Structure 1
């Protein structure tokens, strides 16, 4: 029996499906220790990271909050152990912009005289198999600049390396994904965002596997960065809708493509960007294979 609404129409009785009128969201709470699934002392350790910053440019802006929590997972992507949450605030040496304070709830008083434990933070990340962040393109640039001794570890992205829409999710933003799993959290708090990523990675997808299993498959795929060299300015809208981003230094539109999608992308470029009828004087696209874990650098 399924709950429904009884409707009488011309002497017939129909039971219509009951549409969802309410959704209950619960505050996310991540518990440290073994998860009760699998061997908590086996498998690989990854570090989940989030930063809050004074802006978007790692050359000009500064980290004001860094959070790290290490987790262990097995070969099937099941999280078997959750480590301690480490979180630091740091004084940027200048006033925090008002819009950043409104977004993060961090004031100048909250960070005054405080600093990140550089040695400990570097150790926590360097000892992990790889680093995970939601929108790794952003976090990687700030973390590696703030922790120069970290080197160039492998990174994965929970936003781009899980095909959320294909699994029935709407969008890719962290808070929105989390709400679709039935939770809410204190968005734009580094520690809370780290826990939100862990919760998403543990979430069971329609195929019965956790989201982390899907991320591991995608993160390990070979990837290519394709540059649409010589693309006409009038085609920028088309490229942007396709997922290309503008590189102001190289003055070229570029995109990262999985190995399995390379042939399809080559055909699209040949038809829409480099066809003689569209651009008779265009060059050829450039393809660069990217090392594992550095596609977000």
Structure 2
């Protein structure tokens, strides 16, 4: 991977007539960037599955690529890619094959090396996925020895718009960064993620640096317990989602946003006359070790 490509910028001027896309080529070895003396290990991860609900589906492909990064969030070295397919024990549906590109022949008799995959994940200080809320439950269900590690999500924990990108789809982000690839296979998605983590903003900060800052900061799960039915529209408009198991509206907020959220809830949802069946919301602290579950 060339240093120039990894440090590219999104053209926000809008006056270009032609854009050239380069085939994604993530190469193993030193990147030529950053300070590797005190570098830390991270891993990029992706899974392909037979379903979108973790208790109904199973992993059929797992890809992991370790990398080293310095204190500024600059990737200094890229490790080899590890990839396994796994036979789910039943035929793949045509829909699964269409989405993942995997066929019954690709997975027949195959098995994930559980010990090696667990070792790789446990060797890292952070596990990065583009949809951690999707990948993490599947991974921890399959690799029980890799539970409780620190996860980060490049989809939800990066302010892509402020970096000049539109949307958050992995393939679309990569195109805007000047590359194309074959999406949806786990190995390709992992390499696309590594490339994006190296991308720099105009001030020189990498996507990984922003992501690590968000990962390390605690956040809060807010449950609007006992909120009246009439409050559903204002809660939804503020970004709350309904949890049918807890029977409560919930959202996740940054640590420094807690005071403002408490005030908003007190005046909008729990004030006299609002019909709430509880005195106040419930706040639960979340860290990288238990986020996205």
**Structure 1 residues 61 and 18 mapped into 2: Cα distance closer, same or farther (>3 Å)?**
closer
Counterpart of 1:139 (choices 117, 135, 138) is 135
Q: What residue is the counterpart of 1:199 in the other structure?
A: 195
Ranked by relative contact order (alpha carbons within 8 Å, sequence separation 6 or more), the top structure is 2
**Structure 1 residues 267 and 173 mapped into 2: Cα distance closer, same or farther (>3 Å)?**
farther
Q: What residue is the counterpart of 1:120 in the other structure?
A: 116
Give unmatched runs, 5+ long, in structure 1: 1-16
**Structure 1 residues 107 and 263 mapped into 2: Cα distance closer, same or farther (>3 Å)?**
same
**Structure 1 residues 280 and 156 mapped into 2: Cα distance closer, same or farther (>3 Å)?**
closer
8 Å contact kept, 1:256–1:295: no
Counterpart of 1:217 (choices 190, 195, 213) is 213
8 Å contact kept, 1:51–1:67: yes
Q: What residue is the counterpart of 2:3 in the other structure?
A: none
Q: What residue is the counterpart of 1:160 in the other structure?
A: 156
Q: What residue is the counterpart of 2:71 in the other structure?
A: 75
Q: Deviations over 1:30-65 (max 9, x none)?
A: 010000113445311011110010112222210000
Aligned-partner SS, 1:75: coil
> Separation in 1 of the partners of 2:154 and 2:175?
16
Alignment of 1:1-297 (within 5 A): 19-40=15-36, 42-279=38-275, 281-297=277-293
* RMSD over equivalenced CA pairs, Å: 1.9
8 Å contact kept, 2:242–2:249: yes
> Separation in 1 of the partners of 2:19 and 2:231?
43
Shift of 1:280: 5.3
> Separation in 2 of the partners of 1:18 and 1:205?
17
Q: What residue is the counterpart of 2:4 in the other structure?
A: none
Q: What residue is the counterpart of 2:9 in the other structure?
A: none
Higher strand content, 1 or 2: 1
Q: Deviations over 1:146-203 (max 9, x none)?
A: 0112231111111111111232222222122212211122111101111111111100
> Separation in 1 of the partners of 2:60 and 2:234?
37
Aligned-partner SS, 1:94: coil
Q: Deviations over 1:99-138 (max 9, x none)?
A: 2211111111211111111111111111111211111111
Shift of 1:270: 2.7
Q: Deviations over 1:236-257 (max 9, x none)?
A: 3443343222222111121111
* Structure 1 residue ranges, 4+ long, deviating more than 6 angstroms after superposition: none
TM-score (normalizing by structure 2): 0.89
- Structure whose alpha-carbon radius of gyration is higher: 1
> Separation in 1 of the partners of 2:244 and 2:73?
38
Give unmatched runs, 5+ long, in structure 2: 1-12
> Separation in 2 of the partners of 1:63 and 1:139?
9
> Separation in 1 of the partners of 2:84 and 2:263?
48
**Alignment: residue pair count:** 281
**Structure 1 residues 283 and 109 mapped into 2: Cα distance closer, same or farther (>3 Å)?**
farther
